[in-house]
Amino acid sequence: MAEIIPRWEWRTFGQSFGDAETNIKKHKEGGFKKSEEKYILSKLSSNNIKIRDDLADVKTQLNINADKLEQWTVAMKQSFPAPKDKLEVLFKEYFKVPVPAFNKDTYTYTEFLDELIAGNENLVIVEVLKERQAYEINGTVAEIAETKFNGVPMRTICVEHEDPALVIATVRELGAIGFENINYINAMKTAVGIAKV
């Protein structure tokens, strides 16, 4: 498994980003991606848990620095069918909710959602659509994306890299420093009416 290097991220959500968006678009375009994902929001946790292509991907926040940048790292990846011991870790460590009673040793993707998530009062499934255009700026990855959270449209721009000094310098250069840093989980919770943790 390749070494996981935590990344520092600045991101904001809104409908329009003025000069910041214009300035991002002046740079070289990278890849364009369109995806459909399911995020599972926990009322008791701010961890980032998404499922795409039958793979659960868990990210946790390690730090917030003086510039309010957030450092995130991959904490867990689990494909389906998933064994109950791995799911126990997911509920206990990352959802931070009581571990449910498991009726079988492994769960398919559908069983996981229908039997373990859908009826849990502390967990909410959010259907997420993303159309993301990446840009290369000062060695960082910047992005402009159109998203929908359970059908609620929202736009986002971001800058991320392993070096926080490079991230904040790029944010300033783009003229985006006046926007609030808002991560995906907090934006989603606002969109679907869940209190932030």
* pLDDT tens per residue across span 72-95: 999 999 999 999 999 999 999 999
* Average pLDDT of the residues of the chain: 95
Strand intervals (E) in the chain: 7-14, 28-42, 48-52, 55-64, 70-79, 82-83, 106-107, 123-137, 140-149, 152-161
* pLDDT tens per residue across span 2-28: 578 999 999 999 999 999 999 999 999
Beta bridge partners of 110: none
Residue 42 inside a domain? The answer is yes
* pLDDT tens per residue across span 99-131: 999 999 999 999 999 999 998 999 999 999 999
Residue 60 inside a domain? The answer is yes
Assign 155 a pLDDT band (cuts: 50, 70, 90).
Answer: very high
| CATH number of the domain encompassing residue 127 | 2.40.320
Give the number of domains in the chain: 1
Residue 1 inside a domain? The answer is no
- Domain assignment of residue 148, given as a range: 7-192
